[in-house]
């Protein structure tokens, strides 16, 4: 189930990344998935400000996300393995809406 959750989340985040150049990397280790944000799509310019705004907006919409990374520009997603695919899709929709609204 860990691989299934990770693959679903990674695919959903990659679809969001295709629309938003601020997402410069999506990576997964089992069900733990992360996306790295940078200014102007340049990985050498970490965007901690946008990361914080996305996390704050997601919380306002009912989704708790974690920031991490040496520069505070990574959003980490780790959901319970018992979460349904519908719940994963709902979370991805919230993340996508946050990027659409803020970026």
- Predicted TM-score of the model (pTM): 0.94
pLDDT at position 103 is 75
pLDDT tens across the length of the chain (103 residues):
999 999 999 999 999 999 999 999 999 999 999 999 999 999 999 999 999 999 999 999 999 999 999 999 999 999 999 999 999 999 999 999 999 999 7
* pLDDT given at position 60: 98
| Residue pair 35/87 in contact by the 8 Å Cβ criterion | no
pLDDT of residue 100: 97
């Amino acid at each position: 189930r860990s691989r299934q959750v990770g693959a679903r989340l990674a695919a959903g985040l990659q679809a969001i990344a295709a629309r938003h150049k601020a997402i410069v990397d999506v990576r997964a280790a089992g069900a733990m998935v992360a996306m790295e944000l940078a200014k102007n799509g340049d990985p050498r310019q970490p965007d901690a400000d946008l990361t914080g705004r996305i996390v704050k907006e997601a919380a306002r919409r009912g989704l708790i996300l974690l920031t991490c990374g040496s520069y505070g520009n990574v959003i980490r997603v780790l959901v319970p393995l018992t979460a349904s695919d519908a719940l994963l899709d709902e979370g991805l929709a919230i993340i996508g809406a946050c990027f659409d609204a803020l970026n």
